[in-house]
Structure 1
């Protein structure tokens, strides 16, 4: 279950999703809004997402607080830690929870002032370079008692991804996982222009990160997740064929607990109780009923995936390969995925990056900065 924060979602919605995760045996990403009592009530497995606001583990000035982080990260319910680099699949933008939704309880969970707009900064204050980011991840791993630590990002520029790979090679500090969010992913916390137009689509972004990991020989050390309008077994199969190890979904699970896309999330007047902090409006969301629906949606989606895998003559989703996918590329032609996209062989970037489509980006990638080390426009002429 992909990231959805308490505050954006109601207490009952969080409860239903977490209980559904426990019933279905899958994880529940907290979103960047911190760990609320409703995330803990039913004992579902949690992935604690830490965004640029460090909600739930911040000091009075909004900086990362290692003591508060350790206190929550060592809870048994927390299974992994996810550092969020992109807000709601939108690179370069910090999310906003309107003041009307920042109740006393939400403020307590997030460690922010009550009744004020809750803004996530555009960038992290704990790090500013790939090398510093890995050091921060290693520190979080230590503070959490050795739990897996990874990142979530929507790919903006290819050289940034390659810079992270170079940083892992240089330091020997490996992320445990990377979740790739697609530009088509949704959020109520960003302007329409960013939601509709900013960020690389999931297929292309997943390809970039897959090739970066395989091309640098890191694929066996770093797990790869996919997120961005994933809602069906067919969508999961496509992502697995490209290289993902698992998929996350957000809006599909919101639908499973009652969301009707009334688009009143920011007003706090959600008619189904999913995205409101109004106790009266939440009464229509019955946790026990909606939790079972969330678990059933998950189970039926996996069943559909199983049918697709069996129809392909395979025994496990990991057996899906790019040549199992076909995409129409014109009015009279369709091609296999590995004839459309470049799938790099292992260590290709280390042994001869100049012979790959990533040559200029590899040259531009700098482990000491997210900025390119060369003029990409000039390099591509």
Structure 2
């Protein structure tokens, strides 16, 4: 095959040379130049020893790299249907785009879901539905009896995404949209940047790297009370979230690729520019539950009594039980627990951690909810659930299973214009959401996208109210596991109460 390709290219080059000889015009010279260049590349490919495929199929094998590079986009645009795309299918992505742009969001000709397939889920409507305008419960108050500055938040908020992971324009659009829609924006573990300070309410996340809350001492990241307090008492900061782990890579620590670590980000995080920034897998400020409780109270005091929570992906069940028991015994506890799903999210992560480590959200959420109820802590500790929530049904289901509020990351990225190119860790995001490339960042116009962030939030809240109203409920908080159903097999349907809360 190699000889055949080389022979054909050589023959084309000779013919172009003959053509130039008889018709010495610009066009023929261009043809000769192109054919000659392709022949030289093919000869080089056939002689190099690094790539076997190129050696066997010179020049032609380069098409493989092109198609491989564009595989995700080709699959989205030409191969996948509305329901089989991953991690978020086209139907779900479309509803985000439609709500963000205030476009028509109804669908014709019935559902494309197989309603008789195992795993299909639904809610049942009432013969006496309510008017959705009268449905309440779209906000929730965070703050236990240990907290002096309680915070009333929307039940839908922007989950943790750092400046560094996302672009400056993306962060600004998210924060401005949060301000317009009166909901909260989680900073992610990268600290508070100027782009977060657009007037929107902030949940200041403190990760194991203590960016914005600590410093490096002999190469070790440590918590610093003064640095933390300077950020925590900002009026924009409404709550503090101590991140123990995240669903994308539980037990691993955050990763900021070197390509995305610009001088500005390095200055904010107090790290070396152009290097990969790996957060430690665990906190240096505490190493057991008693120390954790003391640290939570210290953080709460430094933040002048603002709500303080912890975020983790559920791992070892016995450890989690011991932690909740420790909270109950100490009569001191966080004001909320953010439960992240092991299915991962926006963060870049090693394949094994994304695919095989951590409890999926539903099981994790139910487990935490049961433990808090068992220890009579549910009234004190609110639960935020984060894991691929996109539409109103997702939110109703998570609320039914014990969540008080929902954290959404990828959904809000989609509202900014994300096309799920899955290049977040390459610094090549084509729409300027997850990149630090200045030219690509400019593609995201803050003054247009902030409105879409607000629209998506508000329209989704309205959709949640409409679903709850159709169920005959007066409040979003009235939904229970017995209200959501799952097809167990073709001729058997059970409620989620029977699945997760059997008597």
Normalized against structure 2, the TM-score is what? Answer: 0.67
The 8 Å contact of residues 161 and 346 in structure 2, kept in 1 or not, is answered as: no
Q: For 2:469 and 2:341, how far apart are their aligned partners in 1?
A: 27
Aligned-residue offset at 1:170: 2.0
The 8 Å contact of residues 187 and 195 in structure 1, kept in 2 or not, is answered as: no
Q: Residue 365 of structure 1 aligns with which residue?
A: none
Matched, 1:53 2:212: no
Q: Residue 374 of structure 1 aligns with which residue?
A: none
Q: Residue 317 of structure 2 aligns with which residue?
A: 158
Q: Residue 363 of structure 1 aligns with which residue?
A: none
Aligned-residue offset at 1:71: 0.4
Secondary structure of the equivalent of 2:234? coil
Aligned-residue offset at 1:343: 6.3
Aligned-residue offset at 1:250: 0.2
Aligned-residue offset at 1:331: 2.7
Matched, 1:335 2:503: no
Matched, 1:267 2:423: no
Q: For 1:188 and 1:87, how far apart are their aligned partners in 2?
A: 9
Which of 273, 286, 300 is residue 141 of structure 1 equivalent to?
A: 300
User: How many correspondences in the alignment?
Assistant: 343
Aligned-residue offset at 1:218: 0.8
Distance 1:209 1:187, change over 3 A: same
Which of 217, 226, 232 is residue 67 of structure 1 equivalent to?
A: 226
Q: For 1:343 and 1:15, how far apart are their aligned partners in 2?
A: 45
Q: Residue 443 of structure 2 aligns with which residue?
A: 284
Q: For 2:311 and 2:304, how far apart are their aligned partners in 1?
A: 21
Matched, 1:256 2:412: no
**Over 6 Å off, 4+ runs:** none
Matched, 1:209 2:368: yes
The 8 Å contact of residues 260 and 436 in structure 2, kept in 1 or not, is answered as: yes
Which moved further from structure 2: 143-152 or 163-172?
163-172
Q: For 1:188 and 1:224, how far apart are their aligned partners in 2?
A: 21
Aligned-residue offset at 1:301: 0.8
Aligned-residue offset at 1:160: 1.9
Q: For 1:80 and 1:196, how far apart are their aligned partners in 2?
A: 31
Q: For 1:87 and 1:243, how far apart are their aligned partners in 2?
A: 19
Matches for 1:1-381 after TM superposition, within 5 Å: 1-40=158-197, 42-61=198-217, 62-342=221-501
Aligned-residue offset at 1:88: 4.1
Q: Deviations over 1:126-163 (max 9, x none)?
A: 11112211111100001111110001111012212211
Secondary structure of the equivalent of 1:13? helix
Q: For 1:160 and 1:244, how far apart are their aligned partners in 2?
A: 21
Q: Higher Cα Rg: structure 1 or 2? A: 2
The 8 Å contact of residues 211 and 343 in structure 1, kept in 2 or not, is answered as: no
Aligned-residue offset at 1:89: 4.2
Structure 2 residues not aligned, in runs of 5+: 1-157
Q: For 1:317 and 1:90, how far apart are their aligned partners in 2?
A: 32
Distance 1:123 1:82, change over 3 A: same
Q: For 1:44 and 1:149, how far apart are their aligned partners in 2?
A: 18
Q: For 1:191 and 1:142, how far apart are their aligned partners in 2?
A: 36
The 8 Å contact of residues 207 and 244 in structure 2, kept in 1 or not, is answered as: yes
The 8 Å contact of residues 323 and 337 in structure 1, kept in 2 or not, is answered as: yes
Q: CA RMSD in A?
A: 1.3
Aligned-residue offset at 1:197: 2.1
Aligned-residue offset at 1:188: 3.3
Structure 1 residues not aligned, in runs of 5+: 345-381
Normalized against structure 1, the TM-score is what? Answer: 0.88
The 8 Å contact of residues 225 and 245 in structure 1, kept in 2 or not, is answered as: yes
Aligned-residue offset at 1:166: 1.2
The 8 Å contact of residues 74 and 145 in structure 1, kept in 2 or not, is answered as: yes
Q: Deviations over 1:63-102 (max 9, x none)?
A: 1111100000000000000011113443211121111211
Q: Residue 378 of structure 1 aligns with which residue?
A: none
Distance 1:89 1:170, change over 3 A: farther
Aligned-residue offset at 1:278: 1.7
Secondary structure of the equivalent of 1:38? helix
Secondary structure of the equivalent of 2:238? strand
Q: For 2:403 and 2:423, how far apart are their aligned partners in 1?
A: 33
Q: For 1:84 and 1:343, how far apart are their aligned partners in 2?
A: 32
Aligned-residue offset at 1:342: 2.5
The 8 Å contact of residues 346 and 410 in structure 2, kept in 1 or not, is answered as: no
